[in-house]
Amino acid sequence: MADRSFNFAGFMIRWILALFLVFCTYNPSGYSWYHWLMGAENKIEPLLILAAVLLLIGWVIYVRATARSLGILGTLLALALFGTLVWALIYYQIISLSNTTLLSYIVLVILSAVMATGLSWSHIRRRISGQLDVDDRDDD
């Protein structure tokens, strides 16, 4: 049976993988799949399509897990929490609206944090409340 313990390192691994997925798809630096696609003369290159399929698989896994774990309301609440934090940073002039590159990076990190939380939520809830999900069962 797989090890069912969950800790901060487990969450960080999920978050790093989510960051990798998000930043490989798009980032303001210009080194992403999006920029590769926009700069490609031939949009039907095998490696470009392979990368797209791999990214799509990752997005489906993360978005589906987030939707199942947090639900639409939970996802919206998580985004509202992070959105309010960004609003506070802008309101108190810690970051500027004119710095679109920084804002893009913040949005990408927030998106990956919500996705990592969604992928980890069952474990987090079990640690907090002691309740198991319907999908959890003991095969002993």
pLDDT of the chain, 140 residues: tens digit per residue = 455 678 889 999 999 999 999 999 999 999 999 999 999 999 899 999 999 999 999 999 999 999 999 999 999 999 999 999 999 999 999 999 999 999 999 999 999 999 999 999 888 888 788 776 666 555 54
Q: What would you measure as the largest C-alpha separation in the chain, in angstroms?
A: 58
**Domain ranges, residue 101:** 8-129
- Burial class of residue 43, CB neighbours in 10 A (0-12, 13-18, 19+): exposed
DSSP category for residue 99: -
Q: Tell me if 46 is assigned to some domain.
A: yes
Q: Tell me if 1 is assigned to some domain.
A: no
Q: Tell me if 85 is assigned to some domain.
A: yes
Q: Tell me if 52 is assigned to some domain.
A: yes
Q: How far apart are CA 4 and CA 2, in angstroms?
A: 6
Task: Tell me how many domains the chain contains.
Answer: 1
Q: Tell me if 31 is assigned to some domain.
A: yes
Number of C-beta neighbours around residue 53 at 10 A: 10
> Up-side HSE of residue 114: CA atoms within 13 Å toward CB?
26
Q: Tell me if 48 is assigned to some domain.
A: yes
pLDDT reported for residue 54:
98
- Terminal Cα distance for the chain, rounded: 8
Q: Tell me if 134 is assigned to some domain.
A: no
pLDDT reported for residue 134:
62
Q: Tell me if 22 is assigned to some domain.
A: yes
pLDDT reported for residue 4:
64
DSSP category for residue 1: -
